[in-house]
Amino acid sequence: MTNTDPLKTFFEADDVPAADPGFRTAVMERVARRRLQFALARAALAGLVVFAILLLLRSLILTLVVGLSAALGEAVLVLAAIGLAAFAGHFLVTRTLPMPGWVERLL
Amino acid sequence: MSTQMTDAALVGAARSGSDTAFAKIVDRHQQAVRSFLRRVCGHEADADDLAQETFLAAWTALRTLDEPDRIRSWLFGIAWRQAKGMARSMSRTRRRETDWQAERPEHDQPGTELNIAMQQALAQLPADQRAAIALCLAGDWSHGDAAKILEMPLGTVKSHVLRGRARLVEILGVRDDEH
């Protein structure tokens, strides 16, 4: 069609403004909302996957936790006994705590 | 002086997450897309809402765009599908398109006489004809491009343009020297 088309005048009167910041802002707001929805959906999906993995490995995790707690329990007792002996030795050698007379005589 | 980025460059930047680039794409194509949708829908508020949906869908599917330099025809394709979707949802509510248009205020904003006359004339055409007219007569798209955008055979588009044009000339009462 040529520019002399009589309908062209009608169509030109019907055109939207070339620049419309309001429209751009509205679109970008919707884009920001959509991006947030995607981020939330991704986070929810990741949480669901982690939950499912933990659920599948539940028995293995329970075994590990129980076994570890037993092993660590013994280790903690040994460490506590060693620490107590070390403190006592330190006080005895440095005389930083007043000792009973019979202990002093022994030393 | 800032150089004008090509559509392909803007698409590349927008794909990398640049909102500024996508905002420029919106600025560059909003007039054409909104004008097209207003002619197809016949209602400014609905057309602008569809245009926003169109750009949102484009942002979501930007990675699927094969030819970034042809983003405008891609946007028009999305816009046409959105418009058809809206028409389908209206028909699901068992209301004919003409009833739907009749129930709405003719214009949200005051328009010129020519503007109003054209809106009323277009409203009397079927949606497919309106779309073909909006692309080929108002938008200067070739029949081939319009056929791709509207996903119609070339002959159908040519027929829509010919018949729609004749009907508009008749309704508007303009002197037609082309035929």
State whether ipTM is beyond 0.90. Answer: no
pLDDT tens digits along B16-66: 999 999 999 999 999 999 999 999 988 888 899 999 999 999 999 999 999
Q: For residue B176, give the nearest of A10, A12, A4, A14 by alpha carbon.
A: A4
Cβ separation A24–B117 shorter than 8 A = no
Position B1 scores a pLDDT of: 44
- pLDDT of B159 over the 60 cut: yes
Chain B CB within 8 Å of residue A39 CB: no
Average predicted confidence (pLDDT) for chain B: 85
Of residues B115, B168, B176, nearest to A14 (C-beta): B115
Cβ contacts below 8 Å, chain A against chain B, sum to: 91
| Phi, psi values for residue B139, rounded to 5° | -100, -5
pLDDT tens digits along A38-59: 999 999 999 999 999 999 999 8
Cβ separation A1–B136 shorter than 8 A = yes
Q: For residue A30, give the nearest of B62, B78, B56 by alpha carbon.
A: B56
- pLDDT of B93 over the 70 cut: no
Spell out the residues 6+ positions from residue A28 whose beta carbon is closer than 8 angstroms to its own: B19, B22, B23, B26
Angstrom distance (rounded) from CA B49 to CA B34: 9
Is pTM beyond 0.80? Reply is no
Chain B CB within 8 Å of residue A14 CB: yes
Q: Which of A2, A31, A35 to mutate to test the interface with B (most CBs of B within 10 A)?
A: A31
- pLDDT of B175 over the 60 cut: yes
